[in-house]
Amino acid sequence: MASRNKCLILGFTVFLWVELYAQYPHIDQNVTCRLLRKFNLTGYVEVENHSVVIGGIFPVHYRTMPTSDSDEEIESPMCEGFNFRGFRWMKTMIHTIKEINERKDILPNHTLGYQIFDNCFSTTKAMESSSVFLTGQDEYKSNWRNSTGKFLVGIIGAGGSTMSAAVSRIVGIHNVPQVGYASSSSIFSNDIQFPYILRTIPSDKFQSEAIVNLIRHFGWVWVGAIASDDDYGKYGVRFFREEMERANLCVAFSETIPKVYSNEKMKIAVDAVKSSTAKVIVLYATDIDLCPFVLEVIHHNITDRTWIATEAWITSALIAKPEYFPYFGGTIGFAVPRSVIPGLKEFLYDVHPSKDPNDVLTIEFWQTAFNCTWPNSTVPYNVDHRVNMTGKEDRLYDMSDQLCTGEEKLQDLKSTYLDTSQLRITNNVRQAVYLLAHAIDRFSQADIREEYRESAVLENKPDFESGKLWLYLTKIKFITHDGKKIELGSNGDVLNGSYDILNWHMDNTGEITFVKVGEYKFTSSKYEFVLPKNSTLFWNTESSRLPDSVCTKVCPPGTRKGIHQGQPICCFDCIPCTDGYVSEKPGQRLCDPCGENDWSNAEKNKCVPKHVEFLAYEEALGFTLVILSIFGALVVLAVTVVYVIHRHTPLVKANDRELSFLIQVSLGITVLSSMLFIGKPCNWSCKTRQVTLALGFCLCLSSILGKTVSLFFAYRISISKTRLISMHPIFRKLIVLICVVGEIGVCTTYLVLEPPSLFKNIEPQNVKIIFECNEGSIEFLCSIFGFDVLLALLCFVTTFVARQLPDNYYEGKCITFGMLVFFIVWISFVPAYLGTKGKFNVAVEIFAILASSYGLLGCVFLPKCFIILLRPKRNTDETVGGRVPTVDRSIQLTSASVSSELNSTTVSTVLDE
């Protein structure tokens, strides 16, 4: 590492001296700057008889060899690990340039040359190549055309994002355009840092969005991420994490794998995969960086994982090996669209070491492909040694000492170099070359300066600048050979494109195949995710089914997520919904409240209509009260029949027969009015029930008051030892009329101004809807029943005062007991009514109505009916209206009648006929 840094420092020192001389030409012309040593670069150069030169940088090797750390020696590192895929990319650039030179519709008056170097998948080599592009490795050249003496119009490369960034820092100083074919990092979208770089591969921003959409499509919420320790991995994972956060998904862990093998760092990454509950892992790395990690996964026997691949390794033969399938089978990911390049396959086969003894890359390719040594070649063995965490060496290439004969057949070789079935990045290389070619073609035809149009050869333009070409590059739009439109933005990003969604399968021959299962199309403003339901997907799980990657299983319906403080939102508890709230879908963050007419079911996963509560006729309580009401009405009817039949008897005629009939009618009304409280309330029943009850009691109590007033005056006259005089019946009926008319007036005002109405009692925490009546104005209701209470109180006072009338006069004490029952019932009703709700509240009121009605009926009329029906001998004028001798034992009065007999008191009864 130290020697590499020295080499870079030396190269940049020379670079700065050259730049200094260019800016200050007065420096002594005899002073020259030379490199102490030359860079160890391999590649292809063809510049003779060509107008301009296009540079190219490709990873033909995997890495650089360690160099000496001696302070005395400064060495440019050598490379190891032949990369067949990178060699194919390099050959594709050469093939494309030859194809363009043979065409007449592009650059008809000019030809393209090329200078291509191997960067060995190393930033150091990429920077060495950039320096050679500009200055060469010989003495100082002041024209800045190129180390070949030709105009350098642009560079294709340099592979990975980190290497392309390093190259851009150098060539961008001199406005040399750079076209990336595999540099997908989003950092290149910043046209301030990288003003002269554009790409034929989409930015990782689009790929991150595509990966998150894929994760969301399959319902994964807990996903791990492994990235290479470079710009491609770091920026890719950063955008991936941001997209996951926007989608409310979680990254279980995010670890990096080192560029230079580190046992400690690799162990951290492997342990994260082993210990995490995430079964789906995104790998943001190139295939070369990923190889050591793959070996560790295999060594630790980590299975039952689903890997999401990026375009950098989804079709890589380094990873897609049959022996790796038990660990990486079922991998799903994104790849740039596949294409077929005409004539490329034949060009790739047209390679042989005998054609050029100095072509070290072809010789090394032949030695590596056929595991032999080319005769008389100084090209060393291509042996790539790697060491895993256990210290065991993994030799990817172990060559024999067998000499190559030259008769080896490429047709018999299974190599990534010759595999043209998955031309994806390879097609990007082709498009990058065509992008520069189209820009040069338009630049050569542009009316920039008159002499440009008059000149037939571009190299004769002494003031040609590559920076001017950029104006045309950013405006280029052309159709590729396979019908796709290439269009770039002002920052060099692809504005529209697509990804193929691939899934790793194993065919019948035991080889891994990349099956296209879907497609992701995008523009700068929208995307389209296409993954047909009938896609044949292979999942490398124990059940061969879609993996489930969650921190906590999705909360079932009826529960909600309870997020742990300080934990990712994907880790949570499942908390049951409270009453009145439901979660109908799995994984809801919050429970949804039910509507006012609904309530949650027992499972809390559905809102069901609330139970409607009212005192129904069908239920036992309502049916019982109906029976009691009807029975009470029948009893009233029976009493009335008895009174009608015996209407001419003294007992019936006593104390105003008409008032007795009015009392019976009113009791019938009150008993039957209780049935208005039963059943589903409606507006008309709400308006009539309280009014009917109030008027019934008013009629009853006012009639009783008419009777009790007569008794009260009878008592007051009796204590004055004077003969009783009769109260004219018209006055008693007038009392009834006045009371009833007054009550009707108040009730009418009540119904007109603030009438009762149906009310649905829907409380937020109530499991049922209580149908009840909104009584409207409480003041009016209190006035109505307050008037009844006043009548009852007057009845009680007058009868209580007159209770000492002789017992053979039945009205006094009977009404007194009846009013006592009335007050006891309604006084007990108030706390009972306030302590109940719903239908029981109504039932309490009905019970009070029936109890008070039964009490009045029993106390006022049953004793008389008993005498009328069972003791007719007592129903005589002498008994009811005259003196009863005590010796007549056949006519039994009550105990109180004995005292009146001993006193020989004669009581006159008012007989109103």
pLDDT in tens, 244-255: 999 989 999 999
Q: What is the pLDDT of residues 628-658, one digit of tens each?
A: 999 999 999 998 898 888 888 888 877 678 8
Percent of the chain with pLDDT over 90: 28
Q: 123-135 vs 161-171: helix axis angle to the nearest 10?
A: 30
Residue 295, Ramachandran bin (φ over 0: left; ψ between -120 and 50: alpha; else beta): alpha
CA–CA dist 667, 700 (Å, integer)? 7
In the chain the first and final C-alpha atoms are separated, in Å, by 136
Q: Are 610 and 595 in contact (CB under 8 A)?
A: no
CA–CA dist 153, 151 (Å, integer)? 6
Identify the pLDDT of residue 282: 96
Per-residue pLDDT band for 98 (boundaries 50, 70, 90) equals very high
Average pLDDT over residues 222-235: 92
Tokens at 852, concatenated: 């008070």
Q: What is the CA radius of gyration of the chain?
A: 54
- Backbone φ and ψ for 197, nearest 5 degrees, come out as -125, 135
DSSP string for residues in 520-543? EEE-SS-EEEE--TT------STT
Running DSSP on this structure, what letter comes out for residue 460?
G
CA–CA dist 108, 703 (Å, integer)? 126
CA–CA dist 377, 357 (Å, integer)? 8
Please name every residue paired with 770 in a beta bridge, in sequence order, or none if there are none. Answer: 613, 761
43-66+76-202+342-352+406-447+463-487 topology per CATH: Rossmann fold (3.40.50)
In the chain, the largest separation of any two C-alpha atoms, in whole Å, equals: 172
Residue of 516, 660, 198 whose CA lies nearest to 652 = 660
Select the more confidently predicted residue: 892 or 84: 84
Q: What is the pLDDT of residues 486-542, one digit of tens each?
A: 888 888 888 888 999 999 999 988 899 999 999 999 887 788 899 888 778 999 888
Is 70 exceeded by the pLDDT of residue 828?
yes
Q: Which residues contact 364 (CB under 8 A, 6 or more apart)?
A: 82, 379, 382
Identify the pLDDT of residue 147: 60
CA–CA dist 52, 457 (Å, integer)? 10
CA–CA dist 900, 909 (Å, integer)? 15
Average pLDDT over residues 592-617: 86
Per-residue pLDDT band for 397 (boundaries 50, 70, 90) equals very low
Please name every residue paired with 768 in a beta bridge, in sequence order, or none if there are none. Answer: 611
Is 60 exceeded by the pLDDT of residue 670?
yes
Identify the pLDDT of residue 907: 35
Q: What is the pLDDT of residues 186-198, one digit of tens each?
A: 899 888 889 889 9
Q: Are 669 and 697 in contact (CB under 8 A)?
A: no
Alpha-carbon 434 to chain mean position: 45
> What is the residue-averaged pLDDT of the chain?
80
Is 80 exceeded by the pLDDT of residue 391?
no
Element (H, E) at 694: helix 683-719
Average pLDDT over residues 386-401: 48
Domains 43-66+76-202+342-352+406-447+463-487 and 204-335+496-530 in one fold: yes
Q: What CATH architecture applies to the domain 620-746+781-881?
A: Up-down Bundle (1.20)
Average pLDDT over residues 582-610: 88
Is 90 exceeded by the pLDDT of residue 306?
yes
Distances from the Cα of 344 to the Cα of 44, 107, 435, 543, 692, angstroms? 18, 21, 18, 42, 104
For residue 704, the number of C-alpha atoms closer than 13 Å in the C-beta half-sphere is 40
Identify the pLDDT of residue 694: 86
Is 70 exceeded by the pLDDT of residue 129?
yes
Is 80 exceeded by the pLDDT of residue 561?
yes
Residue of 489, 471, 491, 495 whose CA lies nearest to 188 = 491
Select the more confidently predicted residue: 771 or 438: 438
Per-residue pLDDT band for 149 (boundaries 50, 70, 90) equals low
Tokens at 96, concatenated: 């494309």
Type of residue found at 483: G
Identify the pLDDT of residue 909: 36
For 204-335+496-530, CATH number?
A: 3.40.50.2300
Q: H helices of 496-645, where? A: 620-645
Is 60 exceeded by the pLDDT of residue 741?
yes
For the chain, give every domain's residue range.
Answer: 43-66+76-202+342-352+406-447+463-487, 204-335+496-530, 559-609, 620-746+781-881
- Backbone φ and ψ for 266, nearest 5 degrees, come out as -65, -35
Percent of the chain with pLDDT over 70: 81
